Amino acid sequence: AQSVTQLDSQVPVFEEAPVELRCNYSSSVSVYLFWYVQYPNQGLQLLLKYLSGSTLVKGINGFEAEFNKSQTSFHLRKPSVHISDTAEYFCAVSDPNAGGTSYGKLTFGQGTILTVHP
């Protein structure tokens, strides 16, 4: 079974500072990896995804993430954050080869609340 661990439940940073949100996954098979952002009382918006190819993935709003297979990690980074980046961020995985009732299923981490202070 897959599992996702987001190592930090809350990350406070100052505006214009760099940030890294950590995500580790456990899976014995290949995975698809995703980062989603959730603003208060809203659904989730896809930031970026890794399916295959280059391990450095660029997403929307200046975010990027690096897939590290040996460390089973997919950390999210942004070199300079804005107040508007304050939100909760979720890392998720899916199994490319899943079938049956697991087809397309996402497993989410616990979420990291990013708070950007002025």
Partner 1 sequence: GAVVSQHPSWVICKSGTSVKIECRSLDFQATTMFWYRQFPKQSLMLMATSNEGSKATYEQGVEKDKFLINHASLTLSTLTVTSAHPEDSSFYICSAPLPGTSGRAGQYFGPGTRLTVT
**Residue ranges binding partner 1 (CB under 8 A):** 32, 34, 36, 41-46, 49, 51, 90, 94, 96, 101, 103-106, 108-111
Q: In the complex, what is the shortest distance from the CB of residue 53 to partner 1, in angstroms, rounded to a whole number?
A: 13
- Local structure of 30: helix, strand or coil: coil
| CA separation for the pair 67, 62 (Å, rounded) | 17
Strand partners, 52: none
Write down the least CB distance from residue 115 to partner 1, Å: 13
Using the minimum distance from each CB to partner 1, give the nearer residue, 5 or 15. Answer: 5
